[in-house]
Structure 1
Amino acid sequence: MRNLKRALLFFIFLIIALVGGFFIYRSYQKPNYEGAISLKNIKNQTTVYFDEFGVPHIYAKNTKEAMIALGYVHAQDRLWQMELLRRIVPGRLSEIFGSVALKNDKFFVGLGIEEASQNAILKLDKKSPAYQLTMAYLDGINQYVQEGVTPVEFQLLGIEKQKFTIQDVYNIFGYMSFSFAMAQKTDPLLTDIRNKYGMDYLKDFGLDGKFNTTRIKIAKQRPQEYEAISKSIASLLDQSPVAPFVGSNSWVLSPQKTKNKKVIFANDPHIGFSQPGTWYEAHIETPDFELYGCYLAGAPFPLLGHNREYAYGLTMFENDDVDFYQEINNPKNSNQYQTKNGFKDYEIRKKIIKVKDSSDVVLNIKVSQHGPVMNDLLVGLKSDKPVAMSWIYTQQPIHSIEALYALSHSKSITDFQKGVALIAAPGLNVMYGDAKGNVGWWATGKLYKHSNAVNTNFILDGSNGKDDTLEYFDFSKNPSAVNPSWNYVYSANNQPESIDGFAYPGYYLPEDRAKRITQLLDAKSYWDRNAVGEMINDNTSIIAPEVVKNLFSALNLKSFSKTETEILHILKTWRGSNNLKDVGPTIYNKWIFLYLKNTFQDELGDEAFKQFLGTHIMKQIVARQIANENSPWWDNVTTKNTKENRSQIITKSFEEAIAALEKQLGENPYDWTWGKVHSVEYQHPIGKVALFRPFFNVGPFEISGSNEVINNQFFDFVDDGFYKVKGGPSSRRVIDFSDIENSWGILPTGQSGNPFSSHYRDQVELYNSGKFRKMKLNKKEIIQSSTKLVFYPLKN
C-alpha cells in the first residue's frame, strides 16, 4: 500500500510538472504583444499597438523605421510560414520534411524561377524606395531571426533559423505567380483527349469561349501520353504545404450605386485553405504615409490594401500564360534538340537537392529555347519526346517589388495604373476605388497571341518554329474599365470582352458567380456596407436550378417511389441556396458527381477523370453538356454492341445518387442537410501527424457555401459524398469610403501563425458565420482596445 501511495504521488507530481512545464513553455513561445524592445537601425521610438484581433498598428517617424518594425512583428507571428514559402522555389523542402517533399522540390527547382529572380535582382535600382524599404523590412525580419524565440515547428523539425534575403522575397513572389497558372492542369489532359478520340469530343468543352456568355465589360503525329503532366502538377500544388491561389470575387461600386454617394469596395481572393492562412494584416502610419494592408509572408508590400484615399485588391485573370512544347531530340546526341535552324544544345542547369536523413539528389535540368524540359521533373511522364514548359513569368522582366510599391504608395489613379502596368505575370484583375469617386479594373500581364493556326489548349510543336511566332501586346490593349457608364466594375475570374476582335485565351471559370454578381448589382442602386457584406457571403447559385431542369428533362423513370417523389419535390422547390440546413445541395452535388462519372470516366480512365474533376474545364462543361442530347460522351465506350444515350446516363446517375445518399445519411431525405456533408478544417503541415492535429489544425466545422457561388467554399467531388472544403475566401473586405474608419475585414482563422498565440484561431467563428470585424484606422479607438509594444533605438 505504501508503494502504491508513493507511485500515485509521483504520478501526480509528474502531471503537475508536465502541466506547469507546458504553461511555462507556452508563455515563452507566445508572441510579444506588449513591453519594450531595442532595435538596430532605428533612430526614433516606434510604437506598435496590437488590437483585439492581433493586428499591428505601427506608428513611426518615417517609413523606413515603420518597415523595420513591420518585418519584426510579421516574423514573430509568421516566421514558420515565411520559412516554408522561401523554401519552395529553390527546392529546399526536402531538407526539413525528407524524401516525401522530393517530388515538389524537383519540380520547382527546375522551373527557372530562381534564375529569373537572380536576373531581376541584378537589375534593381539600389537607390529606389522600393529596394530601400524592402531591405528595411528584411532587416526587421532578421533582427527577430537573430534575437526572437524559435517557433515550435523549427524545434520539432530541427530547423536552424537563417537570415532572409531579397532573393527569398523574389522566390516567394515567383511561387505565388506559378500557383495562379492553370494551363499546367489542363493543356496536357485536353491533348490526350484530342489524340485518343478526336476534336468532336472537345466540342462540349467550349474551348472557343462560347460558354463564357457573361463577360466582363470593357470600357476599350503518333499520340503521346500527357495526362501525367496534369496529374503530377495538380498533385504537387494540392499537397504543397503552402496553399495555391485559385480564384476570387471583387466589385467596386461608383457613388451613383451607393446610398451615401461614396465608393464601396469589396474583395475576397479565393485561395487554398491552410493554417496559418495566407494574409497577415498590418496598419502603418507615418507623418506622410498611411496604409492598411494584407501581406504575404515574406513580402514587404501588401497585395491588398486601403487607406483614407483609395483601396485596391485582386482576383485571378485566368489568362493563358503557360504553353507546352514537344521537342525532338537529336537521335545522335540527346543533349541537342531540333529547331527551325537545325539542332541546338540544351542549356544544362545543375541543381543539388539536400534530403533530410538521406543522400543529396543531383539534377541536370535541360532547358530548351521554350523553357525547362519536364520529363525528368515530373513523375509518370512517359512520353518518348521531351516536353518543355514556356512560362511568361520567367521570360519577361520581373518588377515585383517596384509594382507592389507603386500600388501601395500611389497618389492618384494615374499613379496606380502605372504600377499595374509593371506586372508581366501573373495575370491578375486589379481592382481600384477611391475617395474621389473613381472606380477601375485592369487586367495585368504581358499578353500575347500565337498565329491563328495555333491552338494553345494543346501541347505545341517545338521543332519547326511554326508554333513559336508570338505577337506581344502593349499594356494599353489589356482589358480594363475605368469609371464605366454602368457605375461598377467587377471580376469573378470570368472572361473579359474581346479587344480589337481578339478574345484573350484562358482558363476562365464558369459564369455562375459572375452572373449572380451582375444580377445583384444591376437590381438596385442604393447599396450600403451592410448590403455589400451580405452579398459577399451570398450562398446562392442561379445556374444550379437551371441545371436541375435539364436533368429533370432527361430523367426517365417508369414509376416513382416515395423517396424519389420527395427528392424530386425538394429539387423542384430548391432555389440554388447552399446553407447548412438545405437539403437541395446535398442531392444536387451527388447527382452531378455521378453524372460526371458515368459520362466521362469510361473514356478518360480513373486517373485522367480525377484530373478532369480538378480543372476549370469541368466546371464550365456541366451546365452545357447536360443539355446536349447529341454529345458523344453519353455513350459508354466499354459496353459493346450498345450505345447509351443522355436519358439512360442521367437516370442511372439519379438512381445511384439516391442509393448512395440513403447508405450515407439514412432513408429520410429531409435529414440530408448540407452541413452534414460539407465541412472545413484549416490544416497546418504538422497537423497531418495525428498526435499534433488537435493542437496545430483548426476545425473541423460545418460550413455553408459551395463551388462557384459568391461564398466559394470549394471542394473536390469524391465517392464517399463527404465534401472537405479545400479553400475559399482567404479574406473578406468591405471598404466604405463614406465611413472609412469602420470598414470591415475578416480572416478565416486568425492573424497569428503561432499556435500559442490567442490570435491563432480567434476569427474562425466570425468567419464561418459570415460576420466581420473592423479594420481600424482611428488612432484613439485603436489605443483604447490594444496592447502596446514599443521599439527603442539600440544604444551602442
Structure 2
Amino acid sequence: MSLRFLPRWLTHALLLFTLLVIAAAGYGYWFLHASLPKLEGNVTTEQLHSTVTIDRDAQGIPTIGGSNRSDIAFALGFLHAQERFFQMDLLRRNSAGELSELFGILALNHDKAVRVHQFRKRALRAFQALGPEDQTLLKTYTAGVNKGLDELGKAPFEYALLRTPPKPWQVEDAFLAMFSMYIDLQPELSEYERSLAVLRDSLPADWYAFLVPEGGEWDAPIEGPAYVFNDRLPTQPLAQLQIPQDAEATAAVYQDFVAVGSNNWSVGGSLTDYPSGMIANDMHLGLNVPNIWYRASWHLPADKRRVTGVTLPGVPVMVVGSNEHIAWGFTNTYGDYQDSIVLTVNDAGDAYLTPDGWQPFTTEIETLKVKDEPDETLAIKHTIWGPVIGEDHKHRPLALRWVAHDPEGANLQLRQMEAANSVDEAIQLAANMGIPGQNLNVVDHDGNQGWTIAGRLPKRVGFNSERLSSKYPQDWSTGELHWDGYLSAAEYPKVINPAGSRIWTANARVVSGSMLDKIGHGSYALGARQQQIAKDLNSKTLFSEQDMLAIALDDRALFLSRWQQLLLNLARENSDIQNAATLTELLENWQGRASKTSAGYLIVKRFRENVIGASTGRVIQKLDEDTDFFDPVRASVYLEYPTWALITEQPAAHVPEGYRNWQEFLVAQANRTLNDLTENGKPLREQTWGEANTLAIRHPLSGAIPLLGNLLNMPGQPMDGDTYMPRVQKPKMGASERMVVAPGHEENGIFHMAAGQSGHPLSSYYALGHRDWVEGNASPFLPGPEKWRLTLSPQ
C-alpha cells in the first residue's frame, strides 16, 4: 500500500518517525565521528623537547620519529589514548579493583577479591622506586596520554554508554596495567597451591602421586630429559573415590583447558640464510575487541636503530619485538612466584605467630565506589609476609607472599631491551625486569640465541623436601622457611647457544634439576604443544620466515592420534556403538588435524573429554564440590597420563563406578559422545570442529547496544586449530599476535594480530589485518608506506 492510501495522520506519523530515525542516526554518526583519533595535522604541547612525527600506514600502525626517548614516550602515550583509552582504563581498574565505579554492582565481587592486593598503592610505590630517568619517562608518557585524551573531539564512545566521564591517566596507572597482566598470568589467590594441598590431603598417597605427576612422555624440555610417568596402579578402587553415579548430572563436565600463555621458538644463525638468528612468538591470551596489543615502531636516532613490535596500552615500552640488533619474545613460565603461608592465630584472633613471637594483625580499610550504589568498605588484614587472602581447606587463615607485592615486581627495566645489542646483554637485563615471570627467548644479528627467565625469582630458604615444598601452603612461623630477597643475574637459569641451535618454549617445563628448582615446580602445561614445536624444528635444517610461520600454524592432531585409533577400533569391533558405520567413516577420514571441516576431529576430542570426565575427572569434580578455593582446571592438567594408563591396562579393580568392565565403560562414553553431539538435531556428519570453534571476539560493551552492538565485534568465523598443538585456537582465546623476525632483516619479517589497531568502530582500520590473522597470510612485520602524518610540536 502506498502512502497516498493511508490516513493523513498516519502518513505524517510515519514521516516524522523516519525523520527521527535519520536524525538519531546522523547524531550517532556525528557523535562517534567526533571521537576519532587525529591522523593528520599538527598538535602543539608544552611537554615536548622537539618535534615528533607520527606516520601511520593504511592499517594505522605508527612509525614515531623523535630526537629522544622521552619525546617518543609522549607520542606513544598520545597514540594509546587516542586509539585505546577505554581499554587502558579497564586495565588499570581491573587490577586496582575499581571496575564497580564503571559497571556498578556487577563488578563488586571482582573488585573485593582484587582489592586485597591494594595494587594502586603498590603501583605508586613502584613509581617512587624508579630512578630519575624512568620517572621522567613515565611522567612524559602520562602527559602524552592526557594530551591525547584532551585532543579527542568527544570522549571515547564507551563513556557515553556508561554515563561516566573518563578520568585522567596518572603516573602509577602504567603499573596498574602491568599488574593486570600479573592477574592474567598468575593465580592471584594462590589457587594452585591451595588445590594441590586439597588433593594431597584428601587422596590416598598412591592416588595423589598417580593423578598429579610431575610429567611424562609428552615432556619436551630444552634442557634435561622427559620425566617418566609412574604408572604403578593405586590400591584403593577408583570407584570409591568418584562422585556417585546418580550424582553425575550435577558434576562439572571435564573440558580441555588452554592455559593463558604462549609459544616461542628460535634457531641460531647456522640454520638461516642470514648471519642472524630467527625467532617466532605468539602470545596466547583472551581475544577481545580491540586486541590487547598495540603495534608500533619508532626510531632511536642516538642509537641509529628502529624498534618494532607490540606495546601494551598504558605502558611506554616495547613488550616483544626487534631493535635490528636483537629480537625477543615471551611465553608464560608457570613457575612458582608466590607462597601461601599458613598462619597460627591466637585464641582472640587478633595476633599471629612469627619467628619473633606473636604479632598483632594490622588492618587497612579500602573504600570501593559503586556506581548508583552507596560506597562499600573492605577491611584488609596484613602480616609481615603479606595480606591475608582467606582460609585453606582446613579453615586455617592464609597470608600471601607474592613477587607482585614487592617493589622488585614492577619496573621499566624491560625498556632496556630496546637498546640491547646481543643475546648476552638481553640475558643480563632479564633478571632485573619487574614483570610477571616469563620465558625470554632472544636471538641477535650475530646468530646467537638464548633462553632465561625474565622477571624476579625469589631466593627461597628452607624449602628442601616434599614435606616442606613450596608447592604447598606452609607454616613460616619458626623462621625455617622464608625468602631471602631475589636471585642475582649470575644465579639465573639460562641456556645460550644450545648444541642443536634450536630453542622452544610453550608454557610447559623447559629445564630440569637445579635450574628448575630456581624457577619452581609450578602449574606447567602438559608438554604436547611444546613437543610438537620441537618436532617441527628438528624436521628441517634451514629456516625461512615462512617456515617459522608454518610451525605457528601447525594444527596437526598428534596428541589426539592415539585417541582416534582407540575410538576407531571400538567402532569397528563393537556392535553396541550407535551409528557405527558412519562413525567409522568419519574417523577414518578425520584429516589428522584440527580442521574446521572435520567431524571426526570433534568426535575424537569430545570422546577423550568424556572418558576423562567419567573416570579420573570425577575424582577432581568431587573435591571441587566439597572444597572452596579449589581450581579443578589446574588440578586436571595432567589427567592425560593416569587416564591413558587406566584405559590401556584396563585393571578390573579400577573400573569406573557404574560399569561392569572397561570395555562397557568405553562404549558408553562413545555413545554418550554421539548423543551429545547430535542433541541439536543435526546429523553426525554436520557436527564439524568449525561449528564448535567459531570465533567470538567481541567488544566488552557490544551486548549493551541494541541491534547495532554486533557491528563492534569481529566476524564469527569457523577456525582451524585447538589446544594441544602450536596453532592454539578457541572461540575467545588464541594467538593474540604472531611474529617471525630475524634482527637486521625486519623487512622480511611476518606479523599477525587479531582484530585491528583501533578501538574506534568508525576507524578505516578497525579490523584491518584481522583477515591475515584468520587465514594465516604472511603479512609484513614492519609498517607499510605512510598514509597519514601527524606532527607533535613543542609550544
Pairwise TM-score range, normalised by the shorter structure: 0.7 to 0.9
Q: Does 1:435 align with 2:445?
A: yes
- Correspondence for 1:426 among 409, 424, 436: 436
For the aligned residue pairs, the C-alpha RMSD in angstroms reads 3.0
Deviations 1:220-256 (A, max 9, x none): xxxxxxxxxxxxxxx9xxxxxxxx9811001111122
What's 2:639 paired with? 621
- Correspondence for 1:291 among 293, 297, 307: 307
What's 1:349 paired with? 364
Corresponding residue SS for 1:282? strand
The 1-side partners of 2:274 and 2:435 are apart by: 37
The 2-side partners of 1:666 and 1:399 are apart by: 52
C-alpha deviation, 1:257, in angstroms: 1.4
User: Any conservation in 2 of the 1:550–1:627 contact (CA below 8 Å)?
Assistant: no
Q: Does 1:144 align with 2:159?
A: no
C-alpha deviation, 1:48, in angstroms: 1.1
Deviations 1:158-215 (A, max 9, x none): 2223222221112221221232114834332332233333223222334434466311
What's 1:394 paired with? 405
What's 2:64 paired with? 58
Corresponding residue SS for 1:278? coil
Deviations 1:519-547 (A, max 9, x none): 11111112111121222111113221124
- Correspondence for 2:326 among 306, 310, 313: 310
What's 2:464 paired with? 451
Corresponding residue SS for 2:723? coil
What's 1:180 paired with? 185
- Correspondence for 1:98 among 104, 109, 128: 104
Corresponding residue SS for 1:108? helix
Amino acid at match of 1:303: V
C-alpha deviation, 1:694, in angstroms: 0.8
C-alpha deviation, 1:100, in angstroms: 1.1
User: Any conservation in 1 of the 2:326–2:445 contact (CA below 8 Å)?
Assistant: yes
Corresponding residue SS for 2:350? strand
Q: Percent identity?
A: 23
Amino acid at match of 2:281: N
Change (3 A) 1:107 1:632: farther
User: Any conservation in 1 of the 2:578–2:671 contact (CA below 8 Å)?
Assistant: no
Q: How does 1:297-376 map to 2 (within 5 A)?
A: 297-331=313-347, 333-375=348-390
C-alpha deviation, 1:84, in angstroms: 0.9
Change (3 A) 1:761 1:184: farther
Q: Does 1:661 align with 2:677?
A: yes
Amino acid at match of 1:366: K
**Which stretch of the first structure deviates more once superposed, 18-27 or 673-682?**
18-27
Change (3 A) 1:398 1:382: closer
Corresponding residue SS for 1:166? coil
Deviations 1:634-675 (A, max 9, x none): 5556x6xxx7654443332111111222323633x3322211
User: Any conservation in 2 of the 1:245–1:272 contact (CA below 8 Å)?
Assistant: no
Q: How does 1:112-191 map to 2 (within 5 A)?
A: 112-126=118-132, 128=133, 130-148=134-152, 149-182=154-187, 184-191=190-197
State TM-score, norm by structure 2. Answer: 0.87
- Correspondence for 1:405 among 403, 406, 415: 415
What's 2:538 paired with? 522
User: Any conservation in 2 of the 1:211–1:620 contact (CA below 8 Å)?
Assistant: no
What's 2:260 paired with? 246
State TM-score, norm by structure 1. Answer: 0.87
C-alpha deviation, 1:730, in angstroms: 0.8
Amino acid at match of 1:678: N
User: Any conservation in 2 of the 1:193–1:201 contact (CA below 8 Å)?
Assistant: no
What's 1:720 paired with? none
The 1-side partners of 2:663 and 2:209 are apart by: 20
The 1-side partners of 2:506 and 2:417 are apart by: 21
The 2-side partners of 1:712 and 1:188 are apart by: 28
C-alpha deviation, 1:434, in angstroms: 1.9
* Residue segments in structure 2 that go unaligned for 5+ positions in a row: 1-6, 226-251, 253-257
Change (3 A) 1:92 1:542: same
Change (3 A) 1:15 1:521: same
User: Any conservation in 1 of the 2:758–2:765 contact (CA below 8 Å)?
Assistant: yes
The 2-side partners of 1:40 and 1:759 are apart by: 30
Deviations 1:314-333 (A, max 9, x none): 111110212223323211x2
What's 2:719 paired with? 703
Corresponding residue SS for 2:715? strand
Corresponding residue SS for 1:293? strand
What's 1:684 paired with? 699
What's 1:731 paired with? 737
* Residue segments in structure 1 that go unaligned for 5+ positions in a row: 220-234, 236-243, 715-724
What's 1:34 paired with? 40
Change (3 A) 1:254 1:86: same
C-alpha deviation, 1:373, in angstroms: 1.4
User: Any conservation in 2 of the 1:112–1:372 contact (CA below 8 Å)?
Assistant: no
User: Any conservation in 2 of the 1:54–1:751 contact (CA below 8 Å)?
Assistant: yes
User: Any conservation in 1 of the 2:196–2:635 contact (CA below 8 Å)?
Assistant: no
Q: Does 1:487 align with 2:492?
A: no
Change (3 A) 1:262 1:502: closer
Corresponding residue SS for 2:200? helix
C-alpha deviation, 1:53, in angstroms: 0.6
User: Any conservation in 2 of the 1:542–1:575 contact (CA below 8 Å)?
Assistant: no
User: Any conservation in 1 of the 2:268–2:278 contact (CA below 8 Å)?
Assistant: yes
The 1-side partners of 2:15 and 2:653 are apart by: 72
User: Any conservation in 2 of the 1:479–1:499 contact (CA below 8 Å)?
Assistant: no
- Correspondence for 1:108 among 99, 110, 114: 114
What's 1:531 paired with? 547
User: Any conservation in 1 of the 2:191–2:631 contact (CA below 8 Å)?
Assistant: no
C-alpha deviation, 1:467, in angstroms: 5.0
Amino acid at match of 2:64: I
What's 1:277 paired with? 291
Deviations 1:465-522 (A, max 9, x none): 5554779644434332212221121111121222448543111111111111111111
Amino acid at match of 2:785: I
What's 1:385 paired with? 396
User: Any conservation in 2 of the 1:272–1:726 contact (CA below 8 Å)?
Assistant: yes
The 2-side partners of 1:480 and 1:633 are apart by: 46
User: Any conservation in 2 of the 1:406–1:415 contact (CA below 8 Å)?
Assistant: no
User: Any conservation in 2 of the 1:599–1:633 contact (CA below 8 Å)?
Assistant: no
Corresponding residue SS for 2:409? coil
Amino acid at match of 2:639: I
User: Any conservation in 2 of the 1:315–1:493 contact (CA below 8 Å)?
Assistant: yes
C-alpha deviation, 1:739, in angstroms: 3.7
The 2-side partners of 1:492 and 1:27 are apart by: 42
User: Any conservation in 2 of the 1:513–1:541 contact (CA below 8 Å)?
Assistant: no
Amino acid at match of 1:594: N
What's 2:523 paired with? 507
Change (3 A) 1:550 1:458: farther
Change (3 A) 1:107 1:561: closer
The 2-side partners of 1:696 and 1:460 are apart by: 48
Amino acid at match of 1:492: A
- Correspondence for 2:425 among 396, 412, 415: 415
